[in-house]
Structure 1
Amino acid sequence: MDQQLANQLFEKGAFLLFLEAPPHLEFGVDYHAWTIGPLFKGVKMIPPGLHFIYYSALSKEGAEGIRTGFFHFFESKEVLVREWNPHIEDLRDETELDPDQVERLRSNIRDFDRNMGPYPLDPPTFYERWKQLTNYITPGLVHRILPNNGKVSHLPEKGSDSLEPSQDTNNSSSSSSRPPETLDPATIKDQRLGKQIEKEQGMEFTPFVLRHSFPKGAVGQEVTRWSLDKSWLTRQLLNTVYHGDYKVLLGELQLAFVCLLMAQNFSGFNQWKQLVQLMCSCQQLVEEMPDLFYDFMDVLQCQLNECPEDFYRDILSENNFTTIVLKTLQRNIPLHNERLGKRFMKLKRFIIKKFDWEISDHEDDEEEEEGGENAPVIVDLEE
């Protein structure tokens, strides 16, 4: 980072004061993770905006625990104070600290400068990717879905090694500057096999049921129509949950994905899959709101670009999920909408190149595509 940018960020950037953290704790912000040393006191020069702070303690045997974290929208020059609680191996937030002490710490933040690592902007592409991955997430959305101060609860399973160790450090901190390629498909798969889906504590993703995608009291052809075309359900969610703003819906899609990507959170994984399937199954709404689906494909491509190949092949391709939903989306794009057609072809070429995978242009395998627990409801009208 050049000196001019460093000076600018020191004057306008935010600070995270991270007190009493044990040595060898894994600590990270966005795409960067450290194994901290005994002198580490936090991060300075944080660009204003949304960031994800995460950490993972070591057991007495030296095994790394499950990653926990929280989202926070940093204001310019904000000083956020957190303190490690060794009894619960988690953070105390400011409501649990002496307010007078917190104010003294904020007033004397420059005293901690030598023990605070700068927010990593080298390479700058990591920060740009982070902003693109989260550009629709709003403070209100984080507060609604994660009401416990933005905290993401961890997976309920115990004893699973969900992360690879970070690199060691000497005194204060050393960034590994790594993207989250340590996402372990086995961890997610272990959470699902033979077990009922459970919502993690403190997570309030928008509830909806894909199979019940028609209005109350619907019968016959109306049930069949809206079971095949999820436009009615999507429109209802837009009007009743997202205040008519489709960008908030895309924000929830992004938030769910980041909870999966950064914290291996199963509630995020389940919500992300449901929202992707919902969006790909809207025939009428594609005609009415083409901008929504253009932006949706932008978001989806950005997310798939962050997926490790083994996670994509083991999880996202399981039961042909990606094939089914994207073939459905392709069929729902109107032939006369050249802009949407070109955007889908761009997405298709990206998937072919990154994952060595092909989306068939043929409308076959209809029986396969309508299988599974979220298959459309077809009403037999014969007496």
Structure 2
Amino acid sequence: MTSERGNQTPHMDAEKAQVLFEHGAMFLLLNFPEGSEFGIDNYSWTVGPNFRGIKMIPPGIHFIFYSSVNSDHQAGPRSGFFYNFASKEIVVKKWSVQMEEIQMDEVSEAEMEKFHDNKQEMDKYLGPYPYERYKQWVSLSNHITDTTLRVLQPDCGFIYSVAQFESEGSTSQSRQASAVEKSKEASTESSSSSPQKPELPHLKQVIGTNIKYSVVPKQRYPPGSSPSEITKYSMDSSYVLSLLLTERYNKDIDSILGEVQFAFLCFLLGQNYESFEQWKKLVHLLCTSEEAIMKNPKVYQDFISLLHFQVREIPSDFFVDIVTSNNFLTVTLHELFQNLEGDGVDSKLQKKGHSFRKHLTEKFNWDFTSEPDDFAPVVVDT
């Protein structure tokens, strides 16, 4: 393997390496094209001719991603998926040259038995998990659970950086109706001097490829609310948050932190822009839920920690081009810090908020002391 981001995995003492080899999981990927990108969690490589996969994977949830090269050495768009590895588990997948993606079909029991028996022989073809980055990965994924994956992952199993479209199917009736319509259009156009426009194919997103993100409710206040309640919940998103949690997560507010992390990683590692939009919506929703902040101090302490690690991981060019565009993050976090100053907010939570605000101010020179410009609105539709 050739390292593509960061340094090569540093030398690990033999005893620790043996323990990880015995108890860690393996991901075998057969027939993957040489020169392609392969990554796990927050590390990626350009693979060589002998690459067969990754060994010593710590048990738990990980994100595997790849970008293959074709016969002309052109890199394709990135794809990936989450997987919850068990201790000592061996996962075997094969690369499909025709489809240019990983086949998700299960390998036969006979093949699996062969791989288990030849585990030591496979060692030289496997790259070691980048263990020196494991703590970073945990800080970015510790709220993602099996439930998170079951609720959010696309039915096809893959996170695509580019939306998957296909031509709409047609029937004899639809073709007949289309022919009649074209005949009318041709008759009309023949009497005019305007050139005929080329017909474009009708495309639709491939079923099962969309990430099943939560939909932020449009209703901002309870039915039958008084004018004062309407005013309150127009500024406080707590009712919207409560609706979302009831509809999606059985009122478990901890679960939404898993979706925040899932969306962030799908954007950062999976290069899926839809996920960035979802991350913004959820961050804004949590930051502007004043009532929820007072009722759930432990969850919001975890939320601040989550944001701290996410901000640290975002590449600097992303900050300039995306995250700070329209002042999204500074305006949204300003609202969070304002809500943390309210009466009845847990003192430990306030202290953590102050520490986070200080860190952001020192590192990025963001100003949270003055009110945001009235002409810099939050660009999040809720």
| Deviation readout 1:322-354 (Å, 9 max, x if unpaired) | 121111112211256432222122212222233
Q: Which moved more, 1:5-14 or 1:106-115?
A: 106-115
**Aligned to 1:41, which of 52, 55, 59?**
52
Change (3 A) 1:199 1:219: farther
Change (3 A) 1:207 1:140: same
Cα root mean square deviation, aligned: 2.5
1:70 and 1:151 in contact (8 A); partners too: yes
The percentage of aligned residue pairs carrying the same residue is: 34
Counterpart in 1 of 2:263?
Answer: 256
Structure 2, unpaired ranges of 5+: 1-11, 166-205
Counterpart in 2 of 1:289?
Answer: 296
Following superposition of structure 1 onto structure 2, how do residues 1-383 of structure 1 map, counting pairs within 5 Å?
A: 1-95=12-106, 97-121=107-131, 124=132, 126-148=133-155, 150-156=157-163, 201-209=209-217, 211-216=218-223, 218=225, 220-333=227-340, 334-335=342-343, 337-354=346-363, 356-363=364-371, 365=373, 367-368=374-375, 372=379, 374=381
Structure 2 CA distance for aligned equivalents of residues 216 and 82 of structure 1:
51
Change (3 A) 1:313 1:155: same
Structure 1 CA distance for aligned equivalents of residues 262 and 163 of structure 2:
20
Structure 2 CA distance for aligned equivalents of residues 346 and 24 of structure 1:
44
| Deviation readout 1:73-127 (Å, 9 max, x if unpaired) | 11000000100000011011233x4443334333433331221112122xx2x11
Structure 2 CA distance for aligned equivalents of residues 339 and 98 of structure 1:
53
Change (3 A) 1:217 1:63: farther
Cα distance, 1:202 vs structure 2: 3.2
Q: TM-score, normalised by structure 2?
A: 0.79
Q: TM-score, normalised by structure 1?
A: 0.79
Change (3 A) 1:62 1:218: farther
Cα distance, 1:149 vs structure 2: 6.5
Cα distance, 1:59 vs structure 2: 3.4
Change (3 A) 1:21 1:370: closer
Cα distance, 1:275 vs structure 2: 0.4
1:142 and 1:150 in contact (8 A); partners too: no
Counterpart in 1 of 2:187?
Answer: none
Structure 1, unpaired ranges of 5+: 159-197, 376-383
Structure 2 CA distance for aligned equivalents of residues 69 and 214 of structure 1:
38
2:56 and 2:129 in contact (8 A); partners too: yes
Change (3 A) 1:108 1:216: farther
1:14 and 1:46 in contact (8 A); partners too: yes
SS of 2:27's partner is strand
SS of 2:20's partner is helix
